[in-house]
Structure 1
Amino acid sequence: MDWHAWHGAYDSPQSPLVNQLRTVQQRVAIALDDLPPGRVRVLSVCAGQGRDLLGALEDHPRRHDVTARLVELDPRNAARAREDASVLGLDGIEAVVGDAALTDHYTDLAPAQLVLLCGLFGNITDEDIERTVSYGSRLCATGGTLIWTRNRKAPDRFPWICGLLEDRGFTRVWLNDPAAQQGVGVHRFTGSPEPLGPGERMFTFVGYDALS
């Protein structure tokens, strides 16, 4: 799979991914609105070109409060994220090229007030979804927001993922219409974050094409 070319779908008005992207951007903006004044730490896992976060920050009044790390394996996607952040004057955005599954990329910013797991759960096994959710309590600060996505094709794993999160200290804030092909979920962490240690692997990225 060429994940750089894959992002071209976001430029096609007919793609269901366009609506998903807009929805995630709206929820990121709302999450920022709800946070108290001060610096905001953001982590984006498998960030791609960072369009979800960067699009939300473009005109947001708290755009300069954000310190974010976007972790992406494809160097072309990371370069695009850096370029777009630079054009927008967002000096607090860092795009790192690396395996987003490794905790080493997040330890110095975790726990964060906003965590994005967008485009991940449809590309890993159910076992690794469970494992990744278990790391949510280490990535998210108390009161932090987790925004995540998963397609709703059969078998629909969306309700199951909601249950996993809610069994691990997350409270459901908002879900998009179940009829939408691309699901978006927002959960808030109400527990106390556990330490995030280095050298751990949260998942293995398989790819939806291989999983199907």
Structure 2
Amino acid sequence: MTRDWLSWHEDYDQPGSALAARLTEVQEQVRAALDRAPAGPLRMVSACAGQGRDLIPVLATHPRREEVTARLVELDRRNAATAEDAARAAGLTGVQVVVGDAALTDAYADLVPADLVLLCGVFGNVSDADVRATVGHCAALCANGGTVIWTRHRREPDLVPVICDWFAQEGFAQIAASTPAAQVGVGVHRHLGHPRRLPSGVTMFHFLPR
């Protein structure tokens, strides 16, 4: 059975759910990333952005909202429409919602390297090999000093410590990582190296069948 990604979002509105806890943590980390970003225009990209809940509510109230150019890439047209409506309602003219395959490097080509890269809801739905490959591409997606925020469940086998090691190998410093006791893992890494060239025409990951 194919997962219904519209109804999947309903758990965000359930107090105490793992998704609600994840959303709170991710939004706090997005706000912190905005606070520490250098002065001037900011670029942001969000892969598999869903309804834009990770980013749009934070930007709506943040003092740097007018400095942000963001692209949210989402394959499900219903979720993308919800994100578009939320961005317009908040008056976020710098936020662009694109209906498309978030795994394709071409979806981000003209907006990277970015100051903030969101990979929330990706690493728990792809193979370990694709997680590793995507971490490697983050060195091209993310600007020097930029931040990557990602999520992954902490069920056994717990891949979160390994993912943190992979980011270190790609020149990222760990800012935060949820403990095993958390309902869901949220990782935050800052890019310390110079961004690589993002290859064109590459598929970074494939969602596993459900």
For the aligned pair, the TM-score class normalised by the smaller chain equals over 0.9
Match of 1:80 in 2: 82
CA distance in 1, matches of 2:194, 2:31: 24
- 1:159-194: CA deviation from partner (whole Å, max 9, x where unpaired): 010011111101001122331020111100001111
Match of 2:133 in 1: 131
CA distance in 2, matches of 1:167, 1:194: 14
DSSP 3-state at the match of 2:115:
strand
CA drift of 1:59 comes to: 1.1
Matched, 1:95 2:97: yes
Amino acid at match of 1:159: P
CA drift of 1:15 comes to: 1.1
Matched, 1:175 2:177: yes
DSSP 3-state at the match of 2:30:
helix
CA drift of 1:64 comes to: 1.4
Taking the TM superposition and a 5 Å limit, the aligned residue runs for 1:6-85 are 6-85=8-87
DSSP 3-state at the match of 2:69:
strand
Matched, 1:164 2:172: no
2:21–2:183 Cα contact (<8 Å) kept: no
1:153–1:181 Cα contact (<8 Å) kept: no
Could you list the runs of 5+ residues in structure 1 that have no partner in the other structure?
A: none
TM-score in terms of structure 2 length: 0.97
- 1:77-127: CA deviation from partner (whole Å, max 9, x where unpaired): 110000000010000001100111111110100100000000100000001
CA distance in 1, matches of 2:158, 2:10: 26
Match of 1:195 in 2: 197
- 1:38-80: CA deviation from partner (whole Å, max 9, x where unpaired): 1110010111111000121121111111100000000001100
Could you list the runs of 5+ residues in structure 2 that have no partner in the other structure?
A: none
The 4+ residue runs of structure 1 with deviation greater than 6 A are none
TM-score in terms of structure 1 length: 0.96
Amino acid at match of 1:195: R
CA distance in 2, matches of 1:7, 1:156: 24
CA drift of 1:198 comes to: 1.8
Aligned length: 208
Match of 1:186 in 2: 188
CA drift of 1:206 comes to: 1.5
2:12–2:19 Cα contact (<8 Å) kept: yes
DSSP 3-state at the match of 1:204:
coil
